[in-house]
Amino acid sequence: MTPPSIPPAHGSTPPSPLDLGGRTALVTGAAGGIGRACALRLAAAGAKVRAVDRDAAGLESLAEHAQDLGGAVEPHVLDLTDLAAAEQAAADTDVLVNNAGLQLVRPLEEFPPDTFHTVLTVMLEAPFRLIRGALPHMYGQGWGRIVNVSSVHGLRASAFKSAYVAAKHGLEGLSKVAALEGASHGVTSNCVNPGYVRTPLVEKQLADQARAHGIPEERVLAEVMLQDSAVKRLIEPEEVAEAVAYLCTPQASFVTGTSLVIDGGWTAH
């Protein structure tokens, strides 16, 4: 007996491009690096992007660049340690990209407690408040996309990065809870997990890593940062932005509660 055929979910139509016309996207840490690339990518897809950062000059530069490209970016100067303001900023958001981060490389016994607290506030508690602020609107319309820019350090640990690793591991769990709760409301929640990205955050680590590991700064990239990566280069911010954009496409509507790893083979070990 010939088994019954199961029609494909989307028929034979070709994949549709990302179209976020009429949608509002909020991107944190948008003044530079991954956040800037994400803001420009989502604006190019037609979204009105609410760009959040402490860096007013960087936000103005972003908005001007987006305008030159025909996109719409609204700069929003905000310190994410103001948690109530962060939650309020996320109201009426259709796409939320939690990207803002900071880093300090120190051994545990030398790690400043106030810095540990700040890192977890910006990189874990603020995403919680932003998600909390965005969900009522997303639930009300039956559609939403939450993309948390995690890291390979959300899946693996490295020495001397206690606050960053703790925050990213926590963000992974928060993202999964949001996925479980949001599924029946048409809301997906995922993490994107890059390896080392060519950003100012990574460039500023070189001196700290050299000090912590006791090696010259010029050896840090090859011997520390890229040691476990099969692909021996930094990933570009635009590559991360494409992964974020994919999670907003119709073809990714079944992708939720997971981590999209773009780490050059780091976690293949």
Lookup: tokens for 158: 């490295």
Cα distance between residue 258 and residue 255, in whole Å: 7
Cα distance between residue 48 and residue 74, in whole Å: 7
Cα distance between residue 112 and residue 99, in whole Å: 23
Cα distance between residue 103 and residue 164, in whole Å: 6
CA distances to 25, 125, 192 from 245, in Å? 11, 24, 11
**Known catalytic residue: 164?**
yes
Instruction: Check 139, 164, 196, 246 and give the catalytic one.
Output: 164
Three-state secondary structure of 85-140:
HHHHHCCCCCEEEECCCCCCCCCHHHCCHHHHHHHHHHHHHHHHHHHHHHHHHHHH
Cα distance between residue 194 and residue 191, in whole Å: 10
Residues acting as catalytic residues: 164
